[in-house]
Structure 1
C-alpha cells in the first residue's frame, strides 16, 4: 500500500481559514472546525483580527452603483451602462454582483493573445499605457458565461479588431478579489496542532513513492501546507538523498553553509547546531532578508543517547495569546544577526507577520499569520533606543507569553529521528530544536538543506493544476485500481507496513493469530482509504458533514 498513513478518526479544527485540504490530498484529515470554537472552547471576540467596518466594503464603491438596463434575459445586447459619477465610464457586466467595473481595471485584465504573450505568459503592455478616456464600445455576454468587450480609445497600437473576452471564472474571481486569498495555494487548509494532535496525525510518506509519483508529491506538499511538517521513511543512506528529496520540490537554496550541510558535533563549532548541546526552539536564517521556507533534515546515523528533535507549531501558540500581545508582536521588531569569521548578517523583523489578504467568516473579514519570526539563539540587541524604552516592558511581556506557549510541554512534540528518515518542515511556521546528546556513546549525523517559500508555492500551484483538477479515471479503472491495492495490502502481510502500530489495536485481541488478522484488516481498510483519497471520495463522512455549509461556501467561491 505504500507509506502514506491515513487518520480515520473525526478531528476537530482550528481557528484559521476553513479552506480544507482537498479531496485529492488529506481531506479526511482536515475536518471542518465547529463554528466559533477551538478545541471545544468558545472563541473570545477580542482575539478576532477583523477589519474595520470601512474595509468591509466590496471592490465597488456605492457611488459606482449603476442604473439602467436590466441584463436579465438580454444576453446578446451590445449596450453597456455607465456610472452616474461624472467623468467615469464604468462598465456594467451581468452576473458579477452589484455595481459596475472601472474600464481601466477591466482593460488591464484582458487575457487575449495580443495582451498576454502565449509563449512567455507575460503582459505586452503597461497599465499606464491605458488611456484615461477608454470606454467600452460593446459588451456581449456569451452563451458559456464569458463576456466579450470591444473598446473605444484603446491602447495606442491596438486596432479596432482588438476584442477582450473575459472568462466567467476570471470575473467571479475579480469580483471578490479583496475578500479572499489571491493565491490559490493559500486555500489549502492550515491545521494547527499541539503535541497530542500531531502525535496522532503526523503523516509518513514512502521515499520511493514520493520520488516516483507526482500525485504522492502533491500529497506531501499539501501536508506541508496543512501541518507544516511531515516525515519521509525508507530514505537511502546516501549524502545525496536530501538533495534528491528537495529537488522534487524545486531548486535548493544555497547559503554560506552550502547547498547541503552536516549537522554533527564538531570541535570549535561556529554554530550551536554543530555541537552536542541542547538547542532551544528557533527558526533558521532570520538574520537574512529572505529566510528559507522549508528545511529538510535527513538522518544518516543516530546511535547515541539523547538528541531528540523538538517541534512546536508557532501558529497554534499565537492563537492562544491575548489581543494586546498579538498587537505588540506585530508592531515591535526584533533584530537577528550572525557574525562569525568573514560573515556578518543582520536583519530586523516583527515576531508576527500577518497575511496581507483576508478571508470572510461569520460576516466579518479576518487575517491569519503569514510568518512567525522567532530565533533566540541568533537574536541581537533589541532595536529600541533610550527615548523609546517605555515600549520595552510590553514587548518583553508579549515575548514571555509567546515563549510560554511554544515551550509548553503540551505544545512541544519530541521525535527521535531514525536512520532512513527525513523530516521536512516549514521554517517560517514550525519552531525546531534538539535535546542534548552524548557523543561518547555513539554518533548523530543529519544532512540538511533548504528550499525557498516561493519555490515551494510554485511547485504546489503547478501540481495543483495538473493533479487536483485532473479528470478521474473511469469507474472500471478505479475498480481495478482498488482491487490491485487490496491485493497488494494482503500480499505485504500483516507486518509489511511499519506505520500500523500494534499498540493502537483493540486490547481484546489477545491471541497472536487474532492480532495478525486484525492488522491485516487494517491494511485492507487503509488501502481502501488511500484509493478513495487519491480520487476524491470522501471516506470520513462524519468528520466532513460537521461543517457542510462551510464546505459548500468554499466550493462556490472557487
Structure 2
C-alpha cells in the first residue's frame, strides 16, 4: 500500500533564467526609445488616477486591479507592446535592469476594446504606454497562473512503488508512437507522470538510421556525450564501464559527473539471449518523499551534504559535486496542487561516486554544521527504501522493446547475466547475445515538447 505522500505529488524543475547583455550603444538606444534607464532612486509624488472600470485604479502611484496591487517595475516589465517585445521573434527588446525604480503610472484609461492603457513616467526617462487586457492583468495577479504557465502538467506527477506502476505505466506500440499523434502524446505525458514508459514491437535490427535516435528525435534533440550520439550496451572484454560487462549493475543514474546530466535516457533492445539480465527501476522521488515523512532529519541531510561523482578512465576525467537530493528553490508557498517541499532531482550513482572531498573532518563538520556521520546514516536509510523489493519494478528486455526513463528521477539497474558462449559476449561481427542501443535527451528538450503538447 502507498502512503499518503505516495499518491499524487507535483514537482517542478527550476526555470533557468538567462539574461542577454547588450552593447553600450544599443543600451543607450534602448534607453532613449523605450523610456528606460538603468537605475534611479528618486521618489515619485502621490497621485490618484482612475479608469472608467471600478476594478482598476491608480492609488499612491501604484496600479490596483481587483484585490491585487502591483509592483510598478513588475507590471511595466510585463509590457508586451511591439516596442518591448519583437512581434516576429517574440523576444524582449529591453532589460529589466533598464526600468527606473521611480517609474509610476501617469494615467490609466480604458480603451474601446475593454483593455487598459497605462502611461508610465519617470524623472529621467521618456513616458511609455502599455496596454493590458483584463485577462492579462488577472494572470499577472495570480501566483498560481504564473507557475502554471510553465508547469501546468506538474500536477499529473504520480509517485509509485511496483504495484502502483503496474496500473499507471504507459506502454505503446512503436508504430503508434511514430505515426499516431495521440499515442505519441500519451507516451510523453506518461514519461513525465511516472518517469518511465515503454514502446513495444520496434524493429529489432540496426540500420543506417539508428532506431533509438529516431525515437529520441521525435521528442527533441539528442544530447551527445563522450559515448557519441548513441552507444551499444554489450558485454566487452576489458570494459571501461561496468555497464559493458555481464556483472550486476546496481541502482544508479547516468553521467552525474556532468554539470548537466542527461534528462532522459532511451534504450532499444536488439537481441537478448542472456540468462538473467533483468532490468530494475525505482522511483527515487517516491523513496525521498517516504524518507521525508518518516525521517525528515535524514531527508534534509541528503539535501545539504556534497557528494562528488567522477569518471576517470580511457582518456577522460569528468567530475562534479552535488547533493543526493536537490530541492526546487522557487515556488515554496504550498498550494492544494503543490506540496511545501518539491524535489528537483535525485543524484545517486554508487559506481561513479568519487572519494568525498568536503566536510569529512570534525573541524569542517563543526564549521559548516554538516555532519559526515549523519549523512552516512541518512544515506543508509534512503538505500533501505530504494532496495525494498516492493518498491522495485522489474522487467526483462525483449527484442524490439524501447525503454524511456527520466534519468534524474528513475533509478535503473541490471541483474547479472550469463550467455551460452564467450563469443556471444563480444562477437566481432556484431552478433551479440545481449545488445541494447542507447541515447540521451537533455531535459530542456523534453520539457519543451511536453509544454507544446500540454498547450502551454
Measure how far apart 1:364 and its partner are: 9.6
Q: What is the alpha-carbon distance in structure 1 between the residues aligned to residue 73 and residue 339 of structure 2?
A: 27
Change (3 A) 1:333 1:79: closer
Measure how far apart 1:382 and its partner are: 1.7
Does residue 354 of structure 2 align to residue 380 of structure 1?
Answer: yes
Q: What is the alpha-carbon distance in structure 1 between the residues aligned to residue 57 and residue 353 of structure 2?
A: 63
Gaps of 5+ in 2: 12-45, 425-432
Does residue 449 of structure 2 align to residue 459 of structure 1?
Answer: yes
Q: Is the 8 A contact 1:146 1:168 kept in 2?
A: no
1:331 corresponds in structure 2 to: 304
SS at match of 1:440: coil
Give the 5 Å matches for 1:435-474. 435-440=415-420, 443-465=433-455
Measure how far apart 1:185 and its partner are: 5.1
Measure how far apart 1:146 and its partner are: 4.6
Q: Is the 8 A contact 1:262 1:448 kept in 2?
A: yes
Change (3 A) 1:301 1:332: same
Larger strand proportion, structure 1 or 2?
2
Q: Is the 8 A contact 2:222 2:439 kept in 1?
A: yes
Does residue 3 of structure 2 align to residue 14 of structure 1?
Answer: no
Match of 2:200 among 233, 239, 245: 233
1:406 corresponds in structure 2 to: 386
SS at match of 1:410: helix
2:103 corresponds in structure 1 to: 134
Gaps of 5+ in 1: 1-10, 20-65, 83-88, 467-558
Q: Is the 8 A contact 2:171 2:199 kept in 1?
A: yes
Q: Is the 8 A contact 1:185 1:460 kept in 2?
A: no
Change (3 A) 1:327 1:232: same
Q: What is the alpha-carbon distance in structure 2 between the residues aligned to residue 124 and residue 69 of structure 1?
A: 29
Change (3 A) 1:230 1:143: farther
2:62 corresponds in structure 1 to: 90
SS at match of 1:262: strand
Q: What is the alpha-carbon distance in structure 2 between the residues aligned to residue 13 and residue 300 of structure 1?
A: 38
1:540 corresponds in structure 2 to: none
Measure how far apart 1:422 and its partner are: 0.2
Measure how far apart 1:147 and its partner are: 3.3
SS at match of 1:197: helix
Q: Is the 8 A contact 2:5 2:290 kept in 1?
A: no
Measure how far apart 1:133 and its partner are: 2.8
Give the 5 Å matches for 1:84-483. 89-93=61-65, 95=66, 97-98=67-68, 100-140=69-109, 146-153=115-122, 156=125, 162-166=129-133, 168-169=135-136, 171-176=138-143, 180=147, 183-184=150-151, 186-239=153-206, 240-321=210-291, 322-356=295-329, 357-358=331-332, 360-361=334-335, 366-383=340-357, 384-386=359-361, 387-388=363-364, 391-440=371-420, 443-465=433-455
Measure how far apart 1:207 and its partner are: 1.3
CA RMSD of aligned residues (A): 3.0
TM-score (normalised: structure 2): 0.80
Q: What is the alpha-carbon distance in structure 1 between the residues aligned to residue 299 and residue 95 of structure 2?
A: 39
Q: What is the alpha-carbon distance in structure 1 between the residues aligned to residue 390 and residue 306 of structure 2?
A: 28
SS at match of 2:59: coil
- After TM superposition, the structure 1 stretch with the greater mean CA deviation from structure 2, 323-332 or 455-464, is 455-464
2:59 corresponds in structure 1 to: 81
Q: What is the alpha-carbon distance in structure 2 between the residues aligned to residue 211 and residue 363 of structure 1?
A: 33
Task: Count matched residues.
Answer: 397
Per-residue CA deviations over 1:365-400 (Å, capped at 9, x if unaligned) read 612111000000000112234223571110100000
Q: What is the alpha-carbon distance in structure 2 between the residues aligned to residue 216 and residue 236 of structure 1?
A: 18
Per-residue CA deviations over 1:192-224 (Å, capped at 9, x if unaligned) read 110111123322112112112333222211111
Measure how far apart 1:13 and its partner are: 7.9
SS at match of 1:360: coil
Per-residue CA deviations over 1:106-165 (Å, capped at 9, x if unaligned) read 101101122111121111111122223322122245687753322223995x666x3332
Per-residue CA deviations over 1:420-462 (Å, capped at 9, x if unaligned) read 1100000000000000110235611000000010110011112
Change (3 A) 1:187 1:143: farther
Q: Is the 8 A contact 1:137 1:152 kept in 2?
A: yes
Q: Is the 8 A contact 1:188 1:225 kept in 2?
A: no
Q: Is the 8 A contact 1:315 1:429 kept in 2?
A: yes
Change (3 A) 1:288 1:77: closer
Change (3 A) 1:178 1:118: closer
Per-residue CA deviations over 1:163-210 (Å, capped at 9, x if unaligned) read 332452454244316994562255341101101111233221121121
Q: Is the 8 A contact 2:198 2:401 kept in 1?
A: yes
Change (3 A) 1:78 1:236: closer
Q: What is the alpha-carbon distance in structure 1 between the residues aligned to residue 124 and residue 212 of structure 2?
A: 51
